[in-house]
Amino acid sequence: MDDTTPEHLRTWGKVACINNEGWRHYRENILSKLKGEGYEILEVGTHLDEASETKSEVITTRKTNYQYECSDVANSLDLTDAQLEELEKKQSRTREERHSLRKGKLKKRYATDEIEPELVAKDDDGWYPQIQLHYFMTLGHIYLTGRDRRVASKMTETGGGKVFKPDFNSRMLSSSVECLLLLEIEQFLDPNREFTDKNLKQWYEKISTPIPRAQIKAILGVSINPERDTPIAVAQRLLKKLGLRLTYLGRLGSREERQRIYKMVSLNPDGRQAIFERWLARDEKMYLDDSVSTMSINIS
């Protein structure tokens, strides 16, 4: 700009310079204005230790309160099936009633009369759908169809003959189990097998084509990106659906052909096998009861 520049442009330029200067020293300008209005400015650095200590106390308190909550559920009053059904219908419940209702549901869910605080915490952490999928993929597979049939019947009855399709699909386990079996996930559950980068790559190439990837995403909710994912990462991601993972054992082979070795060290890392045995006994009994009922109807 020079003397020939119109006054309004010179004025605009001066204002722009002042504004830009203000942005360059934004922090100092804001603090200066706050001081001018009477605010007391405290340096954050002097309070970092105190803030860190407060955060640590909050986390500790939260964990302690949650442990108490889990213990309260585990130690709550045991109710009969009739009492639980009545409590389920109540619109408003006391804290003790909520604990007893939760305990009753856990006893049925895990087929046990003993509820420990640890079980309450694991259930909150999403343990049940993982071990349920593991059970019906292996030990309880022959009872999977019957299980889905009963769930579908109950949903239809509750909905007056109608069901919300997304809810219905999410409750059916057959598609998820069969998808995992088609992906040959069961091979990773063999404690006597070891897996190398090479054979994991061969398995991965079979499941990473566009069509299977889309189906895996739709059924299991697991995404696979061939450009970014490694075979072991995908295997671990799928095994996580069962609450399991392969353990890295080390490297074997010559320097030119060293291979990472992985293995399923334990199929019972969290005590699930005891629950599987109870579920199996329950499902066998239900199957026999259904068979007897069917025979009685046919005889009649």
In a domain, 139, yes or no: no
The span from the CA of 93 to the CA of 82, in Å, is: 16
58 shares a domain with 23 = no
Tokens 């442009």, residue?
9
pTM (2 decimals)?
Answer: 0.78
pLDDT of res. 4:
56
pLDDT of res. 292:
64
Question: Phi and psi of 248, rounded to 5°?
Answer: -80, 120
What's the domain range around 17? 8-36
pLDDT in single tens digits along all 300 residues of the chain: 555 566 767 687 777 777 777 677 788 888 888 888 888 887 765 566 677 788 889 999 999 999 999 999 999 999 999 999 999 999 999 999 999 999 999 999 999 999 999 999 999 999 999 999 999 999 999 999 999 999 999 888 888 888 888 888 888 999 999 999 999 999 999 999 999 999 999 999 988 888 788 999 999 999 998 889 999 999 999 999 999 999 999 998 777 788 999 999 999 999 999 999 999 999 999 988 877 665 555 554
pLDDT of res. 125:
97
pLDDT of res. 44:
66
Domain count of the fold of the chain: 3
59 shares a domain with 31 = no
12 shares a domain with 76 = no
110 shares a domain with 70 = yes
Which of 105, 124, 143 is a domain's end point?
124
Identify which of 108, 119, 110, 69 has the alpha carbon closest to the alpha carbon of residue 85.
108
65 shares a domain with 32 = no
Residue 134 in 3-state DSSP?
helix
The answer to whether the beta carbons of residues 187 and 242 sit under 8 Å apart is: no
The answer to whether the beta carbons of residues 221 and 284 sit under 8 Å apart is: no
In a domain, 202, yes or no: yes
Question: Phi and psi of 197, rounded to 5°?
Answer: -55, -35
The answer to whether the beta carbons of residues 246 and 264 sit under 8 Å apart is: yes
pLDDT of res. 143:
97
In a domain, 66, yes or no: yes
